[in-house]
Amino acid sequence: MHQTLAELPQSPGSLHIVYTSQLAPGQDYTAYGRICRVARQRNGPLAVSGVLLFDGQRFCQWLHGEPTSTAALMQTIASDRRHTDVQVHLQTSLPSDAFPSGWRAGFVDSDTLDQFVQQPPHGADRVMAALGRLLAAADVGPAVSQGMTGRAMQSRGCSSA
């Protein structure tokens, strides 16, 4: 079962949220560019890092950072009418220094995202491992995908294979 926004953890540390969503009817791919511009400007000052993937129809976003800011940003994003069917796959506190900081965006092919959406992994380690594979297949640059699939995942005891 997916976690809900009402179940946001209150523990200190770095809050990680992974969700998928669907481009809303009437929106087109140009929304992605506008969202990326705003996110690039705003996430840094909020101390929120992460990646926003898009396949032309669906989004997959990993947000992580200062818990209060990250939770508040997620609430804003969840109520954004440019997307629907927001499914939160992970909300948990993880060590903040084990993951690359900064904000990235990139395209992912539909087949790869299909696997994630249609068979969503359960449990923090499985979600993060699946996310690592998704990032490795996406166009987000080696720093992020290697950071997820290499040292960071090993430090979580996660398998990216």
Ligand X SMILES: Cc1cc2nc3c(=O)[nH]c(=O)nc-3n(C[C@H](O)[C@H](O)[C@H](O)COP(=O)(O)O)c2cc1C
Chain positions contacting ligand X, by CB under 6 A? 21, 35, 38-39, 42-43, 52, 59, 61, 73, 76-77, 80, 82-83
| Closer residue to ligand X in complex, CB, 38/161 | 38
Task: Provide, rounded to whole angstroms, the least separation between the CB of residue 157 and ligand X.
Answer: 28
How crowded is residue 37: how many other Cβ atoms within 10 Å of its Cβ? 11
Task: Provide, rounded to whole angstroms, the least separation between the CB of residue 79 and ligand X.
Answer: 7
What phi and psi values does residue 136 have, to the nearest 5 degrees? Answer: -65, -30
Task: Provide, rounded to whole angstroms, the least separation between the CB of residue 76 and ligand X.
Answer: 5
| Closer residue to ligand X in complex, CB, 75/159 | 75
| Closer residue to ligand X in complex, CB, 52/128 | 52
Angle, in degrees to the nearest 10, between helices 124-137 and 110-118: 170
> Is 61:19 a contact under the CB 8 Å cutoff?
yes
How crowded is residue 120: how many other Cβ atoms within 10 Å of its Cβ? 16
Task: Provide, rounded to whole angstroms, the least separation between the CB of residue 80 and ligand X.
Answer: 3
Which region, left, alpha or beta, applies to residue 102 given φ > 0 means left and ψ of -120 to 50 means alpha? left
Q: 53-78 burial, b if ≥16 CB within 10 A, otherwise e?
A: bbbeebbbbbbbbbbebbbebbeebe
| Closer residue to ligand X in complex, CB, 77/127 | 77
What phi and psi values does residue 145 have, to the nearest 5 degrees? Answer: -70, -40
| Closer residue to ligand X in complex, CB, 83/156 | 83
